[in-house]
Amino acid sequence: MSRTGRVIVVGAGPVGIVCALALSKRGIPVTVFEQEPAPVKDQRAASIHPPTLAMLDEIGITSRILDKGFISAKYRFHDRAAGNVVAEFDLDRMRDEFQFPFVLQYEQYKLTAAISREFANGSDFDVRFSHKVSSLSQTADGVTVEVASPGGAEVYHADFVIGCDGGRSMVRKLADIEFRGFRYPEQFIKIATSFDFAAVNPHLVFRNYFSDPDEWCNLFKVRGEKDPGLWRAIFPTRSDESEETALKPDRIEERLQRFFPKSGRDDIEYVNVYHVAQCVAATFRKGRVLLAGDSAHVNNPIGGMGMNGGIHDALNLVEKLAAVLHGTASEEALDRYDRQRRHAAETYVQTQTIANKRLMEERDPAVRSRNFDELRRTAEDPERAKAYMRRASLLESLNSAAAIA
């Protein structure tokens, strides 16, 4: 007999909302619990890679957001110390492999809001804010969740619970799943400004990586809330630099002026300092509790792989979970989800993001020179460049994971 029991998704970020929408489109009733009182306008991920755009297109999202972001086919690696471009990769060269041969620069909070606004308006796709999960227990037949809500403690039952509630996941902790990895000693600082860096540096595209032995930088452009958009710059803080010091207006200005000197002060739209870790959960499935996105794995932001990998988790999981709930697959399919997506996280996302950071921060002049030479040779060789773009866009990770039985 077909089963279509309710699924609880914890976390209304991009991974949780995409997961909930995909479940709903497969006829699975879903309730989303989010501890925040309203959609969070967080300035986090903003790069949606070509394979992710193709996957979102299958659930009716891509056509709704394409004209709301910046289309970025090219990305460049710069030697900040020398002031030159090391290499450029052009996704337009992948038209024979990518349905969307570009990255869409579109902030994750806008993706979340767009899906919630258009689809989450019924009892079978129910999003509840100010609902914080406080306890969780499971049996062979279902999961019971206790939630702290504005009206007091409430108890809910579901066939499965999916934790999409971030790197500090309460679902992961309540399920007693180990989170293995390390945290970087330095913090990262993200600064957004309306100053047009492209007006003073003609070598910029919408996505830029600046290698520097003292202070590397990722520089990206997003639309923000008004034209002409915002430039986001991500830097490492010094090991002896406290968060309080990093956030001082004069220190923020000093950091930007060192990067791009200009007359007058920069108009700062937002700034935040945060810790970054490289961790993967010991398992993405424990009985009827499943993990996806940052709840399952976290990484540094260089390369824009976190949100994309999380969406890949969600859509892989939904395909298998829907089959289980509709009675066309056994629960072993969920173990396959764990095997496939942990493989993708460990072998691709973790490996690539760690390598990206090392490339950006390398101090040894001889090693830097060898790294740059290798990057140039890769970019200049059509086949090697395509192989690099398959890996950087996570297409290779998707293909590799799909081959795991």
Phi and psi at 39, nearest 5°, equal: -55, 135
Return the CATH architecture of domain 7-183+277-402: 3-Layer(bba) Sandwich (3.50)
Tens-digit pLDDT profile for residues 64-112: 999 999 999 999 999 999 999 999 999 999 999 999 999 999 999 999 9
Q: Is 271 helix (H, G, I), strand (E, B) or coil?
A: strand
Q: Which of 96, 110, 29 is nearest to 68 (CA)?
A: 110
Confidence of residue 371 (pLDDT cuts 50, 70, 90): very high
DSSP string covering 129-164: ES-EEEEEEE-SS-EEEEEEETTEEEEEEESEEEE-
Start-end of H helices in 149-242: 170-174
Integer angstrom CA distances of residue 89 from 76, 193, 205, 351: 6, 25, 11, 20
Tens-digit pLDDT profile for residues 178-230: 999 999 999 999 999 999 999 889 999 999 999 999 999 999 999 999 989 99
User: CA angle, 113 as apex, 107 and 116 as ends, to 5°?
Assistant: 145
pLDDT number for residue 4: 46
Calpha distance 79→368 (Å, rounded): 9
Residue 63 burial (CB count, 10 A):
9
Cβ atoms of 358 and 365 closer than 8 Å:
no
Integer angstrom CA distances of residue 218 from 10, 42, 61, 97, 234: 31, 18, 27, 27, 5
User: CA angle, 133 as apex, 127 and 138 as ends, to 5°?
Assistant: 105
151 alpha-carbon distance from chain centroid: 33
Residues in the chain: 405
384 alpha-carbon distance from chain centroid: 26
Does residue 3 have a pLDDT over 50?
A: no
**Sequence spans of domains, the chain:** 7-183+277-402
Single pTM value for the model: 0.95
